[in-house]
Chains A and B, each alone.
Chain A
Amino acid sequence: MRQAFAETVGAALDDDPRTALVLAVISGDMFRRSAARHPGRVIDVGIREQAMIGVAGGLALAGMRPVVHSYAPFLVERPFEQVKLDLGHQDVGAVLVGIGGSYDASTAGRTHHAPGDVALLDTLPGWTVHVPGHHEEARDLLRAAIARDDRVYVRLSATGNRTSMPASPRLTVLRTGSARSAGVVVAVGPMLDRVLDATAGLDVTVAYASTVRPFDRDGLSRLVGAAGSADVLVVEPYLRGTSAHEVAEALADRRHRQLGLGVGRDEELRSYGTPADHDRAHGLDTEGLAKAARDFFLV
């Protein structure tokens, strides 16, 4: 996905003079050619993440479309007040593109992990959040985001699904349960393959989201209405329960149960290893998801 990002932004810099890229060193080598071709529009501020977001806000005030990129903890968490004030409060847009996600940089330890990025942006109004599950989705979502003017966070992952889904702001249904089904499962971005595997033997509806903000509340309400039970399981690659308030809003008019699965909130996991090791520790591997789904749907 990182390569798709570099290619998409490189092409946008060539095609649209409004496009600017703001970096704080990270991934700078992927844009060397773009920087040579468009020296005023590829701006590497050095290791200065507050200035990175502030500069992006200023570029937007001057009529540019800034794309801002770093590891998620340095893009969203470190300069969070700049994200809040220099973009949101100024009422200007930018495309923030994060890598590293929850623990793609598993061997780097907690300093380079950001499972709270989407929950943090959820405290701010007006953000669109894309969580592509495949590099082709990343390309399509980025291309569309650069063409708009709003505030967009694109959360790239080092892992993805086997096949690409169409980029849609709506929930995409991949498997429809029977009229007596146990409920609905929503898989976000790179969680899709393992959710499909983990729920293969269950009578449930499985839907996919690569855009989580705005959340497709109407779509979820319809799917739950058609299911046998108003039970909803959401599987997200970041903090568990991040979208719980969206599910609650979507289903406010009916009695329902919900469970959110994702990265654990209860402790700081001080481990290295691989992302798969971390998935296992958080119950986000296929086996962990299958067990949690069976328990939740009471089968």
Chain B
Amino acid sequence: MSTRAVLSRYADLPTLIGLMEGDEKHSAAAHTTLDVLWVLYDRVLAVSPETAEDPARDRFLLSKGHGPAAYYAVLAAKGFLDVPTLRTWAAFDSPLGHHPDRVLVPGVEIGSGSLGHGLPLALGTALGLRARDVRRADGAEPRVVVLVGDGELDEGSNHEAIAAAGRLGADNLTVVAVDNRSARHGWPGGIAARFAVEGWETREADGRDQDALHDALTRPHPRGPLAVVARVRVGT
């Protein structure tokens, strides 16, 4: 994999993102997710280009499908995507659109863009892996991690899934809610409270602090599914 030797570091991500142009409208969405995505793929998830089809891989579902430049950049840095492919972004025959399509992009677990679909899909995936008793090589249950935005939490489908996941005890499920305060009417009491009342374990972290994110994502959570609220200010 020649592409993995170059442009494979965190410091290379701006260069990789720079290869994609034309989605300025969603650039804030792309950049607020950058550190979360990097921590997940660099330090948390047990998945690689070699294991992308392994039934026992960890899953990452990008529900917040708009502004996927950071996502594509991380996938390229980790070798799921060839770097030159980034230059084709949004062209007719490119696999890379302004919203990702799982059928077109290696390593992408769901096609997303319309808000409120990733969390119910992630819940079903988590329940399915558990029902099949799928185990990673290290004996652990595969993790299913889904990234949502705070504005996306307005969608009722998410609230259906948050409640169902808590009651069904889907503790192999993790939600990362990137909170950049884009929800129209806000979330009184904070986003974490919405999850906590449904039986989720909740944690908050600075969405730019990679060590804090890593800690929040990896510390054991014996009780219920895990929600990590990653606070990010747009423009930082």
Interface residues of A (CB under 8 A from B): 17, 20, 22, 40-41, 43, 45-46, 48, 50-51, 53-64, 66, 81-82, 85-86, 89-91
Inter-subunit contact B120/A90 (CB<8 Å): no
Inter-subunit contact A54/B127 (CB<8 Å): no
Q: How many residues from B make CB contacts under 8 Å with A?
A: 33
Inter-subunit contact A50/B156 (CB<8 Å): yes
Inter-subunit contact B161/A62 (CB<8 Å): no
Inter-subunit contact A46/B164 (CB<8 Å): yes
Among A53, A58, A82, contact of B127 (Cβ-Cβ < 8 Å): A58
Query: B167 to chain A: which residues have CB within 8 Å?
Result: 46
Query: A20 to chain B: which residues have CB within 8 Å?
Result: 127-128, 131
Query: A90 to chain B: which residues have CB within 8 Å?
Result: 102, 110-111, 121
Among A22, A43, A59, A61, contact of B110 (Cβ-Cβ < 8 Å): A61
Query: A45 to chain B: which residues have CB within 8 Å?
Result: 160, 164, 168
**Residue on A nearest B102 in the bound complex, by CB:** A90
CA distance A38 to B6 in the complex (A): 49
Q: How far is the CB of A50 from chain B (nearest CB, A)?
A: 4
Query: A22 to chain B: which residues have CB within 8 Å?
Result: 124
Inter-subunit contact B120/A40 (CB<8 Å): no
CA distance A251 to B132 in the complex (A): 47
Q: Which of B98-122 contact A (CB under 8 A)?
A: 101-103, 109-111, 114, 116-117, 119-122
Inter-subunit contact B121/A54 (CB<8 Å): yes
| 7 more A-B residue pairs beyond the given contacts A60-B124, A64-B128, with a C-beta to C-beta distance below 8 A | A20-B128, A40-B131, A43-B127, A46-B164, A59-B124, A61-B124, A82-B117
Inter-subunit contact A50/B120 (CB<8 Å): yes
Tell me whether B125 is interfacial, beta carbon within 8 Å: yes
Tell me whether B14 is interfacial, beta carbon within 8 Å: no
Inter-subunit contact B117/A54 (CB<8 Å): yes
Query: A64 to chain B: which residues have CB within 8 Å?
Result: 128, 131-132
Q: How far is the CB of B225 from chain A (nearest CB, A)?
A: 13
Inter-subunit contact A57/B124 (CB<8 Å): yes
Tell me whether B129 is interfacial, beta carbon within 8 Å: yes
CA distance A90 to B123 in the complex (A): 15
**Residue on A nearest B109 in the bound complex, by CB:** A61
Sample of 21 A–B contacts (CB below 8 Å):
A20-B128, A40-B127, A48-B163, A50-B116, A51-B160, A51-B164, A54-B120, A55-B161, A57-B121, A58-B125, A59-B125, A60-B124, A61-B124, A61-B128, A63-B132, A81-B114, A81-B117, A82-B117, A86-B117, A90-B110, A91-B102
Tell me whether B126 is interfacial, beta carbon within 8 Å: yes
**Residue on B nearest A49 in the bound complex, by CB:** B160
Among A43, A48, A62, A66, contact of B129 (Cβ-Cβ < 8 Å): A62
Inter-subunit contact B123/A62 (CB<8 Å): no
Tell me whether B157 is interfacial, beta carbon within 8 Å: yes
Inter-subunit contact B127/A55 (CB<8 Å): yes
Q: Which of B120-164 contact A (CB under 8 A)?
A: 120-132, 134, 156-157, 160-161, 163-164
Query: B186 to chain A: which residues have CB within 8 Å?
Result: none
- Nearest 3 pairs of A and B residues by beta carbon: A58-B124, A54-B120, A62-B128
Inter-subunit contact A48/B164 (CB<8 Å): yes
Among B116, B122, B125, B129: residue with most chain A CB under 10 A: B125
Query: A55 to chain B: which residues have CB within 8 Å?
Result: 120-121, 123-124, 127, 161, 164
**Residue on A nearest B131 in the bound complex, by CB:** A40
Tell me whether B49 is interfacial, beta carbon within 8 Å: no
Inter-subunit contact A17/B132 (CB<8 Å): yes
Query: B125 to chain A: which residues have CB within 8 Å?
Result: 58-59, 61-62
Inter-subunit contact A85/B117 (CB<8 Å): yes
Inter-subunit contact B128/A59 (CB<8 Å): yes
Q: How far is the CB of A120 from chain B (nearest CB, A)?
A: 17
**Residue on A nearest B128 in the bound complex, by CB:** A62
Query: B18 to chain A: which residues have CB within 8 Å?
Result: none
Among B55, B114, B123, B126, contact of A51 (Cβ-Cβ < 8 Å): B123
Query: A60 to chain B: which residues have CB within 8 Å?
Result: 124, 128
Query: B123 to chain A: which residues have CB within 8 Å?
Result: 51, 54-55, 58
Query: B168 to chain A: which residues have CB within 8 Å?
Result: 43, 45
CA distance A53 to B164 in the complex (A): 13
CA distance A41 to B130 in the complex (A): 9
CA distance A282 to B119 in the complex (A): 42
CA distance A60 to B123 in the complex (A): 12
CA distance A170 to B102 in the complex (A): 34
Query: B134 to chain A: which residues have CB within 8 Å?
Result: 62
Q: How far is the CB of B22 from chain A (nearest CB, A)?
A: 23
Inter-subunit contact B161/A51 (CB<8 Å): yes
Query: A43 to chain B: which residues have CB within 8 Å?
Result: 127, 168
Query: A89 to chain B: which residues have CB within 8 Å?
Result: 101, 111
Q: Contacts A46-B164, A54-B161, A63-B55 hold; do A86 and B121 have CB atoms under 8 A apart?
A: yes
